[in-house]
């Protein structure tokens, strides 16, 4: 069976998160989105785990209504690189928490703790506890692995052969990452990193995987591409929409080339810091001029949340406006957001015609992306007749291929 999974979120115990990031709300909103397995996030925090352990557990996953929760945690190492850990069960979460506490980690201070440990030390502790681990949002310029290291091997050192996945982050996709030779053996994860449970955040990026059962072991096998289990889709933002895609000033968001950034010694004319963008970092790291996808790599579908599409079609600024929310509820009645975006027969969708037309435009890639950078998200607009996108191609088009719709996958 094919399952949609969002494997990286945070609870209300993490900094800068919504107070609504509680288990009942996350479970309810995940079901509306169409996410079958969602991360708990923050499974090292004792307060959060006291709530999680009240849920019935089966196969290492915790159940609430129609949603399964898998134990996960994100940690920051001594160099400020973030790592995503997927945990088999409650006993292993407690074992890992003890290991990190003994090394000086304050697990009660924040749902995403900072540990006085190096990447290989963190990886060794996680792997010895039977967990899975890999870099979070690997290309992000502040806390991503490639912001601090030129390779995964240099980051994880003697543990690098035991790393099975890399989380891409909102500013990268498979085309970006598959220009780097060392990543060809890796499974790519696309997750939301949501700090809010609402559908414009939760599940804004997700993975689809072939699994036999809803269990940690089947998730481990799917990530490892074992016994016929495997990822079948990565779904996420067009990378240009990510807020760190282009090299840009973090104050005024003016875009720069890497050469201009070097000439200005990393300072914008406004005085702000210029931050190297993901696109330019990939160019520096790339082994191939074009992406070279391995046979195991699933398609990557570029998509944005339904509420954003509705707001764009209706000319409404806020995705949380009553009009957008009412239209969203009408569209998902009897199904889920992912079904509407990927599978539904558009002729049968209820709602305003221009909204349905906008969904159709996204399915066929008929949109224009204005790239983000410096911490500001990019913007997307429906393409006018004859207008070219930012990359001179339709969103989601693979290099060297004819345009394909989501239904071709």
In the chain, where are the structural domains located? 2-239, 306-395
- Quickly state the pLDDT bin for 258 (edges 50, 70, 90): very high
Q: Rounded mean pLDDT of 219-237?
A: 98
| Structure confidence by residue, pLDDT tens digits, 271-283 | 999 999 999 999 9
- pLDDT of 43 over the 90 cut: yes
- Determine contact, residues 21/9, Cβ cutoff 8 Å: yes
2-239 placed in CATH 3.20.20.140 = yes
DSSP annotation string for 66-125: TEEEE-EEEEE-TTS-EEEEE-SSHHHHHHHHHHHHHTT--TTS-SS-B-SS-HHHHHHH
Picking from 164-168, 290-294, 330-334, which range would have the lowest pLDDT averaged per residue?
Answer: 330-334
Cα radius of gyration rounded to whole Å, the chain: 21
- pTM, two decimals, is 0.94
Q: What is the pLDDT of residues 344-402, one digit of tens each?
A: 999 988 778 999 999 999 888 888 999 999 999 999 998 765 555 544 333 444 433 43
Tell me: the pLDDT tens digits for 190-202? 999 999 999 999 9
Q: Are 172 and 178 in contact (CB under 8 A)?
A: no
Residues 6 or more apart whose Cβ sits within 8 Å of residue 129:
87, 92, 95, 96, 99
For position 40, what pLDDT does the model report?
A: 99
Q: Is residue 132 within 8 Å of residue 163, measured between CB atoms?
A: no
pLDDT of residue 384: 64
* pLDDT at residue 257 greater than cutoff 50: yes
Q: What pLDDT score does 166 carry?
A: 99
How confident is the model at residue 334, as a pLDDT?
A: 83
Predicted pLDDT of residue 127: 99
Q: What is the pLDDT of residues 307-317, one digit of tens each?
A: 999 999 999 99
Q: How far apart are CA 82 and CA 406, in angstroms?
A: 32
Q: Of 74-78, 114-118, 264-268, 313-317, which range is least confident?
A: 313-317
What pLDDT does residue 387 have?
54
In terms of DSSP bridges, do strands 37-39 and 67-70 run parallel, antiparallel, or are they unpaired?
Answer: parallel
Q: What is the mean pLDDT of the chain?
A: 94
Task: Check residue 293 and give its pLDDT.
Answer: 99
* Predicted pLDDT of residue 365: 84
pLDDT tens digits for range 116-152:
999 999 999 999 999 999 999 999 999 999 999 999 9
Report which of 83, 3, 14, 10 is spatially closest to residue 40, judged by C-alpha positions: 10
Spatial separation of the C-alpha atoms in residues 218 and 362, rounded to whole Å: 32
Predicted local confidence at residue 388, as pLDDT = 55
Q: Are strands 300-302 and 230-236 parallel, antiparallel or unpaired?
A: parallel
């Amino acid at each position: 069976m094919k399952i949609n999974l969002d494997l990286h979120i945070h609870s209300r115990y993490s900094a800068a998160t919504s107070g609504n990031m509680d288990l009942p709300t996350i479970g309810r909103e995940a079901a509306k989105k169409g996410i079958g397995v969602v991360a708990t996030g923050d499974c090292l925090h004792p307060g959060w785990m006291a709530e999680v352990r009240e849920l019935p557990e089966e196969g290492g996953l915790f159940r609430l209504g129609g949603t399964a929760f898998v134990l996960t945690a994100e940690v920051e190492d001594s160099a400020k690189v973030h790592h995503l850990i997927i945990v088999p069960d409650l006993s292993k979460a407690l074992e890992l928490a003890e290991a990190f506490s003994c090394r000086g980690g304050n697990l009660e201070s924040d749902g995403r703790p900072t540990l006085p440990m190096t990447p290989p030390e963190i990886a060794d502790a996680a792997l010895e506890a039977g967990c899975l681990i890999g870099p979070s949002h690997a290309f992000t310029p502040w806390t991503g692995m490639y912001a601090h290291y030129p390779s995964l091997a240099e980051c994880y050192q003697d543990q690098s052969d035991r790393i099975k996945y890399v989380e891409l982050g909102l500013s990268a996709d498979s085309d970006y990452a598959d220009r780097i030779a060392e990543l060809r053996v890796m499974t790519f994860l696309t997750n939301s990193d949501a700090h809010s449970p609402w559908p414009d955040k939760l599940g804004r990026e997700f993975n689809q995987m072939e699994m036999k059962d809803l269990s940690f072991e089947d998730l481990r096998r799917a990530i490892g591409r074992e016994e016929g289990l495997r990822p079948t889709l990565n779904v996420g933002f067009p990378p240009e929409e990510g807020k760190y895609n282009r090299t840009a000033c973090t104050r005024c968001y003016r875009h720069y080339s890497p050469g201009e950034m070097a000439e200005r010694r990393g300072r914008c004319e406004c005085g702000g810091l210029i931050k190297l963008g993901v696109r330019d970092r990939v160019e520096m790291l790339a082994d191939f001029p074009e992406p070279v996808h391995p046979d195991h790599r699933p398609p990557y579908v570029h998509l944005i949340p339904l509420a954003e599409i509705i707001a764009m079609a209706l000319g409404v600024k806020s995705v949380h406006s009553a009009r957008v929310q009412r239209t969203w509820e009408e569209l998902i009645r009897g199904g889920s957001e992912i079904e509407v975006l990927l599978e539904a027969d558009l002729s049968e969708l209820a709602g305003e015609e221009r909204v349905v037309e906008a969904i159709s435009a996204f399915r066929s890639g008929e949109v224009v992306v204005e790239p983000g950078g410096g911490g500001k998200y990019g913007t997307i607009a429906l393409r006018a007749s004859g207008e070219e996108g930012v990359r001179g191609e339709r969103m989601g088009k693979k290099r060297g291929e004819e345009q394909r719709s989501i239904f071709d996958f």
